Chains A and B, each alone.
Chain A
Amino acid sequence: MLEAAWSGFVQVFYPGNFLSLFFGVFMGIVFGALPGLTATMGLALLIPFTFTMTPAAGLIMLGGIYVGAMYGDAIPAVLINTPGTPAAIATTFDGFPLAQKGMAQHGLVAAAVASAYGSLVANIVLATAAPPLAEASLKFGPPEYFWLGIFGLTIIATLSSGTMLKGFLAGGVGLLLSTVGMAPIGGDVRLTLGFPELQAGLELIVALIGFFCLPEILSSVIGQRRAAYASQPVKPTLSVIGEVIVSLLKKPGLMLRSSAIGTIIGFAPGAGGNIASMVSYNEACRWDKHPEEFGKGTIKGVAASEAANSSMAPGSLIPLLTLGIPGSPPAAVILGALMLHGMRPGHELFTTHAPITFAFIMSMLVAAFLVTIIGCFGSFVFARIINIPARFLAPAILFMTVLGSYSIRNNMLDVWIMFFFGVIGYVSHKLKFHPAPIVLGLILGPFVEEGLVQSILTGRAAGGVLGYMVFRPISLILIGLSLMSALWPLYASWRAGRRPPERCAEEGSDA
């Protein structure tokens, strides 16, 4: 296997392959960075290009896109408080405050380095332990998904600024919003209010843009007529890059833990990276010596989030390559590409097609390095974007978000939903609660619901729902984690005596 890995590694550097890798990473960064465009969309749009390439070059390009997008989404998260893809939500928590302090370049470099780190770790795992991990991933059944969703929801306890009560309420609203559309079980059409397009439910990205991007523009640029997006302009320098890299490498615990979280959550088929970054951020805050720094602009927060969402990508390919079950929507598109080139997932991939498969895996390793290079040097250019006066930047951003919201599902209703969520996000800002829990509810709702109802069905057939749902190894672990996560704030405040509990509050930029 080591020779296969080595030969795969060498193959990546053949001119044709390397060129397509570079192209892929670049396009991936672009797609990740433009809010409204996603990695999935990028992959789908560029698949036709791969028809004219060799299978190796084509897959390498797609791998590059995936890896690039997992870094690209941090760029708008840091600069304009808008996650480029749902996986970067947690990056806004500390990324945007960094930009506000004039440290946008720090944030971008941290994102690039952490993305590469996470990618590296996950690819090594993928290359060495894929088949047994895939078998383990199959053990995730309905109860596991339910408890994973519940665990995700308990993050709200630590993430809410303002009262925990408002945070959970927001989470509940998010759960309710997630029920709009077709019920996963039962097929009922719920809460579509007469709009057939809503049968598909609310589009997550539209909600993200609405809740994260618009309120920022409305409050600072429009409301307070701030001249520039950030309170302080950014002056990118070369030394910042070295500074950030060194300080992150001095924190192996943070980096490894975040990468591990991302890889594990990545291979639970379907869970995807949307929650990986938030869980990782939460854990980073929990175990840090100075949790109060989180939310006010520290590269630790950005690193935790980005390492996790980048390690999720190779993780989601584990069940894909071994069993043909995609662990995330972009992985599903890659599955399509594999099938189109006549490569069936499973044993075959690692035996008959081994050269191509390992070239693919190794290419993602190399892509991680490319991302660091492009990201670090790109940070000079990207960071300066927010120095552009707001009166030029803001309309452009609004125009692009409209474009993005429309192009996801080709309908105008989504754009109006974005507008509506924007207003709600703005109002929630003013009423002192961060809209992030709403988005969390929106993301986790389907997991919790599907897990719950499927467990009810299967549990009833097996004799007892509660017994079925609780007494399983992975479920017990997740239940334990959930309890710990929910009760931690209370424990922390008890330990701290009279002082108010240190929470990973994400203070809005100027709420």
Chain B
Amino acid sequence: MLNSDLIVGCVCAVLTGLVYFLTRDLSRLGGVFVNYVLVALGFLSLLLLIKGLVRPERIKFFESAVERNNVLVGLIILALYLIVMPKAGFLPASYVFYGVFNLYLAEEKLKTRNILQSLGLSAVVVTVFYFIFHHLLEVPLPPGSWFES
């Protein structure tokens, strides 16, 4: 059981301190608002820390180890997608991402049929949106440095 008040209070206090040091070089007009907010934040963090010690609100972060693993894997897949996208280009990365995620969320085992189904669906969904955004609406998308001439 974690003490949510203490955690939030600590994080905010640390944030306040960090921002304080990062903003000492601001001009008077540029920094006045920041200072006011820092004071308020510092004060509120202190109050929350006190509450955390006196009447804490306890929570359970992850209901189970399974949940924790699920979330972590999901985040990793997403992060990989974002890392690969500028390198491989929007389209290829998205195809792979959709397919992988789809397979990950499905409860069935990795049979060839599933993989093909997944990639096929991915191709349709991703291509349709790509077409609408990039060609119809002319929204620029990451080109992919591996393929840039």
B121 in contact with A392 (CB, 8 Å): yes
With both beta carbons as reference points, the residue of chain A lying nearest to B51 in the complex is identified as A165
For chain A residues 131-153, which have a beta carbon within 8 Å of chain B? none
For the complex, what is the distance from the CA of A60 to the CA of B137, rounded to whole Å? Answer: 20
Say yes or no for A472: interface residue by CB 8 A criterion: no
A403 in contact with B129 (CB, 8 Å): yes
Say yes or no for B71: interface residue by CB 8 A criterion: yes
Q: A176-B19, A392-B121, A412-B86 are in contact. Are A163 and B51 (CB under 8 A)?
A: yes
Q: A165-B44, A173-B12 are in contact. Are A453 and B101 (CB under 8 A)?
A: no
A391 in contact with B102 (CB, 8 Å): yes
A432 in contact with B59 (CB, 8 Å): yes
B34 in contact with A399 (CB, 8 Å): no
For chain B residues 57-109, which have a beta carbon within 8 Å of chain A? 57, 59, 61-63, 67, 70-71, 73-75, 78-79, 81-82, 85-86, 90, 94, 97-98, 101-102, 105-107
Distance between A349 CB and nearest chain B CB, rounded to angstroms: 30
Distance between B136 CB and nearest chain A CB, rounded to angstroms: 9
Say yes or no for B120: interface residue by CB 8 A criterion: no
Say yes or no for B115: interface residue by CB 8 A criterion: no
Q: Report how many residues on chain B are interfacial, defined by Cβ distance under 8 Å.
A: 67
For chain B residues 25-48, which have a beta carbon within 8 Å of chain A? 26-34, 36-38, 40-41, 44-45, 47-48
With both beta carbons as reference points, the residue of chain B lying nearest to A430 in the complex is identified as B61
Checking B51, B75, B107, B122 against A225 with a beta-carbon cut-off of 8 angstroms, the contacting residue is: B107
A169 in contact with B41 (CB, 8 Å): yes
B41 in contact with A176 (CB, 8 Å): yes
Q: A222-B105, A419-B79, A430-B59 are in contact. Are A412 and B142 (CB under 8 A)?
A: yes
Cβ-Cβ contact count across A and B, 8 Å cutoff = 163
A395 in contact with B33 (CB, 8 Å): no
Q: A172-B40, A186-B28, A222-B71 are in contact. Are A407 and B139 (CB under 8 A)?
A: yes
A218 in contact with B74 (CB, 8 Å): yes
For the complex, what is the distance from the CA of A175 to the CA of B33, rounded to whole Å? Answer: 9
Q: A221-B105, A222-B70, A222-B71 are in contact. Are A432 and B32 (CB under 8 A)?
A: no
Say yes or no for B148: interface residue by CB 8 A criterion: no
B101 in contact with A398 (CB, 8 Å): yes
Distance between B57 CB and nearest chain A CB, rounded to angstroms: 6
Say yes or no for B125: interface residue by CB 8 A criterion: yes
For A225, what are the chain B residues with a Cβ–Cβ distance below 8 Å?
70, 105, 107
For the complex, what is the distance from the CA of A330 to the CA of B65, rounded to whole Å? Answer: 47
With both beta carbons as reference points, the residue of chain B lying nearest to A214 in the complex is identified as B78
Q: A185-B29, A185-B30 are in contact. Are A407 and B133 (CB under 8 A)?
A: yes
Q: A165-B48, A165-B51, A391-B106 are in contact. Are A452 and B33 (CB under 8 A)?
A: yes
A399 in contact with B126 (CB, 8 Å): yes
Checking A169, A222, A395 against B97 with a beta-carbon cut-off of 8 angstroms, the contacting residue is: A395
For B57, what are the chain A residues with a Cβ–Cβ distance below 8 Å?
162-163, 432
Say yes or no for A340: interface residue by CB 8 A criterion: no
For B86, what are the chain A residues with a Cβ–Cβ distance below 8 Å?
412
For chain A residues 419-439, which have a beta carbon within 8 Å of chain B? 419, 423, 426, 430-433
Checking B28, B29, B129 against A399 with a beta-carbon cut-off of 8 angstroms, the contacting residue is: B129
**Taking beta carbons and an 8 Å cutoff, which residues of B are in contact with A?**
4-5, 7-9, 12, 15, 19, 22-23, 26-34, 36-38, 40-41, 44-45, 47-48, 51, 57, 59, 61-63, 67, 70-71, 73-75, 78-79, 81-82, 85-86, 90, 94, 97-98, 101-102, 105-107, 121-122, 125-126, 129, 133, 137-142
**Pairs across A and B, CB under 8 Å, 29 listed:** A45-B137, A45-B139, A165-B48, A169-B48, A172-B37, A173-B41, A176-B37, A183-B30, A186-B28, A186-B29, A222-B105, A223-B71, A391-B102, A394-B105, A395-B97, A395-B98, A395-B102, A396-B98, A400-B129, A403-B129, A406-B141, A407-B139, A407-B141, A412-B82, A419-B82, A431-B7, A432-B59, A445-B33, A453-B33
Q: Which 10 A-B pairs have the closest CB atoms?
A: A186-B30, A188-B30, A391-B105, A183-B30, A222-B74, A395-B101, A186-B29, A449-B33, A407-B139, A172-B41
**Taking beta carbons and an 8 Å cutoff, which residues of A are in contact with B?**
45, 162-163, 165-166, 168-169, 172-173, 175-176, 179, 183, 185-188, 190-191, 218-219, 221-225, 390-392, 394-396, 398-400, 402-403, 406-407, 410, 412, 415-416, 419, 423, 426, 430-433, 445, 448-449, 452-453, 456-457
